Structure 1
Amino acid sequence: MTPHGNPEVPASSAGEVTSTAAKVPVGAPTPEAASSEAPAAKEATEAKATDRNAWGLWEVFVRSSRGLSHVHAGSLHAPDAAMALRNARDLYTRRNEGVSIWVVPADAIAASDPDSKGAFFESPQGKDYRHATYYTKSEGVKHL
């Protein structure tokens, strides 16, 4: 038995011996062996980390009183709709300023780009026929 208690490792190599080429401790897995084992373990570790940290982004809309519209109040992260609703209640209606709350997953909202509002909202030139004022009344039609 060697001085370190490991019969399989000779006393001369029982210490912190490293190879000169790659500076890897003797007996440690080679980078090739580590890379073949690591992907599965790494994916499992990353999956657990992303599961814990992958709370979705939710947009919150609050209606302050009956008869009014819901207004965007802000955003929050939550794992599901029930938790998003409870968190929205706690964050955005602390002083009884709401009667109704909507929470919507942020990726379910489609929105126009504010920077391209001119091209998006401008009425096309030369297409007056799209408006009722373009047409004239027919003379033979009553009650129009």
Structure 2
Amino acid sequence: MSTDVTAEGGHGAVPTGPAVPVEAKPALTRRDWPLYECFVRGKRGLNHVHVGSLHAPDDEMALHAARDLYTRRNEGVSIWVVKAAEITASSPDEKDPMFAPSGDKVYRHPTFYDIPGDVPHI
């Protein structure tokens, strides 16, 4: 099959004959990007806290977008981004069967001693 081409306009070889068959691909939109959950640790020694969600095309872009969205005032020292589809969570309806085994282990609860008021983060 021979295709006529022209180089008019400085664009290189441009087909002038019948159209070249091209497979149509659906355009990816931001709605097609995976959803990420974002967590920020505000100060050293504190826990990461869920601060919001965002859509991003990949992990690296999600990390940069989370930095731009959730640490604009330099309030973070660490950021975690996790694909929402990768999170496995218990249901609040399963609370009793899920956490009942820990109820009979009283030694795990700090009820046998007083915690001083000047001790943070316990």
Q: TM-score, normalised by structure 1?
A: 0.51
Q: Kindly indicate whether structure 1 or structure 2 has the higher relative contact order, using CA contacts under 8 Å at least 6 residues apart.
A: 2
Give the Cα separation in 1 of the matches to 2:73 and 2:102. 46
- The answer to which structure has the higher helix fraction is 1
* Aligned twin of 1:68: 46
Superposition CA RMSD, Å: 2.8
Q: Which runs of 5+ in 2 are unaligned?
A: 1-22, 108-122
Matching residue's letter, 2:73: R
Q: Which runs of 4+ in 1 moved over 4 A?
A: none
82, 93, 110: which one aligns with 2:88: 110
Superposed, which structure 2 residues align to 1:62-141 within 5 Å? 62-123=40-101
Matching residue's letter, 1:52: T
Whichever of the two has the greater Rg, that structure is 1
- Percent of aligned pairs with the same residue? 59
Matching residue's letter, 1:71: V
Please state how far the C-alpha of 1:124 moved relative to its aligned partner. Answer: 8.5
Q: Note closer, same or farther for the CA distance 1:102–1:124 as it changes in structure 2 (3 Å cut).
A: closer
Q: Which runs of 5+ in 1 are unaligned?
A: 1-43, 134-144
Please state how far the C-alpha of 1:105 moved relative to its aligned partner. Answer: 0.9
Matching residue's letter, 1:99: V
- The answer to which structure has the higher strand fraction is 2
